[in-house]
Chains A and B, each alone.
Chain A
């Protein structure tokens, strides 16, 4: 077959560890397909944000993008099943469920026209605040920042009755410094990268929701490779992103520890307070199912695995 160049974009900056891994993977693919499959990478958001990348995939300028899962909702709404608030309690639960359920998401996306590879963890979003937040009622006392136009934060607002302080990303650091806002809900790794950790005092020990991303390729572009080449790409990309997934897990652990080592105090909700949080979350998840945003089938499967795991743990 003829040599073809595939263009893949991401908003993640160049020079990060995972980009190095991806570049090595790209080289391996080129070698093993004897130059038939070349991949060009466009990191740092130079091709636009996730939604722009999807637009460019539609017209064929780009062929793939490493994007946040939540931007692919329209290809398979049920991929949000991992993003539901307070479903997972520990990372072990995540591992147990993902081992059994990732393929369902990958298949669902394929049906919607998107080829995807190993899903990659961004991490649990935690509440980082300047006033201790243990009780769900405490949320009313803080001015919580939420990123605009982000479906996941919209969900948090809905679920827990947060009154939102919408701001552009560029205003958040200064906003935390001046007291314009005093709470953010992000994975520790993100807080560290954007230097927000220097301006918060507390972290609530409650994984609010799980955020993940993936490399998605346009199916037409993918199918233009020979089946043998497709297999090489799939194998290499699955391996690369499984490694990135594991690395991110490690980085998130380190980032959380770094927050604590820096003197940020952990706030631990009591079991009654936890019940209140979970009751609210369950209520909002049921509403989402009722509204048809996510199928009850996927939710049932998720809950089944969670119960299975918790039963095995003797909980």
Chain B
């Protein structure tokens, strides 16, 4: 009965049933056979109220929509062409780095795609990158900074493992340092791929000109200080990390509506409405995913999966290969916080038996989760990008696949060369 239901559901999904309905129906089916009252669906969706980091989503999304209506992307293109014009792939590198930092500070809740990606996508296209490439770039970059401090999942991994009283303790600082090179490796490999993918494209490289540089800086004089203002505000204790979204929102409105006047005040209700419809669509998918995840958790399916693969493990190498496979799958299905809380206590003891350093393990774990965000068919970032850029989900599958391949190469290097994570540590 259960498999018949799943089959019908899969068919309905392929026929174009809204995804939130499909996920909710799957959760209902699961809970029904587990003899748990379906009221649990409502209880889980209500948990949107206490899911960390979600508060920033509406505000950053709105800021992203306002910026997308301004001429900022043009100013950004000019600026990178003037300063990085000599460097092939300049804007791509700028995009990777910006997304990575933004994610490190805001978490990988998809905010990066709607706030920064929405700005970078038109800029990349304007600078001459192919559309499919640009789409893949902003979608995959949405989780790029997961390994960089102060990303919340990184801290959560540290806190949980520290409480387990391991024979090889480590500090959060060590974990922060361990994440730097792997994140850099990903950015370098992605850059190499970007150069190769756009080798025939007419992306202009040009000489540096002082006059152009000054003009470009002047044009962007209001937007450029934004990161400094936000980070400065956090480091001086003026506001909290979680309040950065509201401050950004306020500053963006000030600059684009009242200083540049590129977004008319009368347009704001329409922009807000568009942004919030998108946020609603995404949040509802998140909410019903919480319910579906809860069905998996309640039935202890992740644990069973791990136990099952454990029977095939004979040595360190097979352990790592199977670990990557399981984590990629779980990364696509579970939300990252559930994945950490459920899987870490299971994995860490086994990993220690094979002599894997817990710091290295944390980096492997999060690198997998990062890729899970855009693993087809249900990586969350694919849906967010589909909504934001109004492209079909299948188009996004195609656009992100090459980037996924590159990041899997990076993942393999990170997994099988522990030095990438542990080089600067005395471990």
User: Which residues of A does B touch, CB under 8 Å?
Assistant: 7, 13-17, 40, 42-49, 52, 55-56, 59-61, 167-168, 170-171, 174-175, 178-180, 193-195
Of B192-200, B234-242, B275-283, B309-317, the one touching chain A: B234-242
Report if A15-B240 is in contact (Cβ < 8 Å); known contacts: A59-B40, A61-B40: no
Chain B residues closer than 8 Å to A44, beta-carbon distance: 160, 341-342, 345
Give 9 closest A-B pairs by Cβ, nearest first. A178-B237, A44-B341, A15-B164, A179-B237, A14-B345, A171-B240, A180-B237, A59-B37, A61-B36
17 sample A-B contacts, Cβ–Cβ < 8 Å, listed by A number: A13-B341, A15-B164, A42-B298, A44-B342, A46-B338, A48-B50, A49-B50, A52-B47, A56-B40, A61-B40, A61-B298, A167-B242, A170-B152, A171-B242, A174-B241, A178-B234, A194-B159
Chain B residues closer than 8 Å to A168, beta-carbon distance: 52, 240, 242
Complex partner residue of B163 from A7, A15, A40, A45, CB under 8 angstroms? A15
Chain A residues closer than 8 Å to B39, beta-carbon distance: 59
A56 to B165, Cβ gap below 8 A? no
Q: Does B254 contact A (CB under 8 A)?
A: no
Interface centre among B150, B238, B241, by most chain A C-beta atoms within 10 angstroms, is B241
- Chain B nearest CB from A228 CB (Å) reads 26
- Smallest CB gap from B160: residue in A: A13
Q: Does B324 contact A (CB under 8 A)?
A: no
CA–CA, A129 to B240, complex, Å? 18
Q: How many residues of B contact A (CB 8 A)?
A: 36
CA–CA, A174 to B39, complex, Å? 38
A46 to B341, Cβ gap below 8 A? yes
Report if A46-B345 is in contact (Cβ < 8 Å); known contacts: A170-B242, A175-B237: no
- Smallest CB gap from B297: residue in A: A46
B37 to A60, Cβ gap below 8 A? yes
Chain A residues closer than 8 Å to B268, beta-carbon distance: none
Chain A residues closer than 8 Å to B150, beta-carbon distance: 174
Complex partner residue of A16 from B52, B163, B241, CB under 8 angstroms? B163
- Per-residue CB contact flags for chain B residues 133-165 toward chain A (1 = under 8 Å, else 0) read 000000000000000001010000001100111
Q: Does B43 contact A (CB under 8 A)?
A: yes
CA–CA, A9 to B36, complex, Å? 16
Q: Does B300 contact A (CB under 8 A)?
A: yes
B341 to A48, Cβ gap below 8 A? no
Q: Does B329 contact A (CB under 8 A)?
A: no
A171 to B241, Cβ gap below 8 A? yes
Q: Does B356 contact A (CB under 8 A)?
A: no
Chain B residues closer than 8 Å to A170, beta-carbon distance: 52-53, 152, 241-242
Complex partner residue of B159 from A40, A49, A193, CB under 8 angstroms? A193
B172 to A195, Cβ gap below 8 A? yes
- Smallest CB gap from A181: residue in B: B237
Chain B residues closer than 8 Å to A167, beta-carbon distance: 240, 242
Chain A residues closer than 8 Å to B338, beta-carbon distance: 46
- Smallest CB gap from A168: residue in B: B242
A55 to B43, Cβ gap below 8 A? yes
A178 to B235, Cβ gap below 8 A? yes
CA–CA, A229 to B294, complex, Å? 29
- Chain B nearest CB from A302 CB (Å) reads 33
Chain A residues closer than 8 Å to B152, beta-carbon distance: 170
- Smallest CB gap from B38: residue in A: A59
Interface centre among B53, B172, B236, B298, by most chain A C-beta atoms within 10 angstroms, is B298
A178 to B300, Cβ gap below 8 A? no
- Chain B nearest CB from A180 CB (Å) reads 4
CA–CA, A168 to B52, complex, Å? 9
- Per-residue CB contact flags for chain B residues 234-265 toward chain A (1 = under 8 Å, else 0) read 11111111100000000000000000000000
CA–CA, A49 to B46, complex, Å? 12
- Smallest CB gap from A12: residue in B: B163
CA–CA, A163 to B294, complex, Å? 38
Interface centre among A7, A40, A48, by most chain B C-beta atoms within 10 angstroms, is A48
- Smallest CB gap from A7: residue in B: B298
CA–CA, A114 to B220, complex, Å? 62
Chain A residues closer than 8 Å to B341, beta-carbon distance: 13-14, 44-46
CA–CA, A171 to B235, complex, Å? 12
Interface centre among A7, A44, A193, A195, by most chain B C-beta atoms within 10 angstroms, is A44
- Chain B nearest CB from A32 CB (Å) reads 23
- Smallest CB gap from A45: residue in B: B341
- Chain A nearest CB from B185 CB (Å) reads 27
Chain B residues closer than 8 Å to A40, beta-carbon distance: 300
Q: Knowing that A46-B297, A59-B43 are A-B contacts, what are 13 other residue pairs whose CB atoms are under 8 Å apart, sorted by A's residue number?
A: A14-B341, A40-B300, A43-B345, A44-B341, A47-B294, A59-B36, A168-B242, A170-B53, A171-B241, A171-B242, A175-B237, A180-B238, A195-B159
B window 184-239: CB within 8 A of A: 234-239
Chain B residues closer than 8 Å to A171, beta-carbon distance: 240-242
B297 to A60, Cβ gap below 8 A? no
A46 to B342, Cβ gap below 8 A? yes
Chain A residues closer than 8 Å to B40, beta-carbon distance: 56, 59, 61
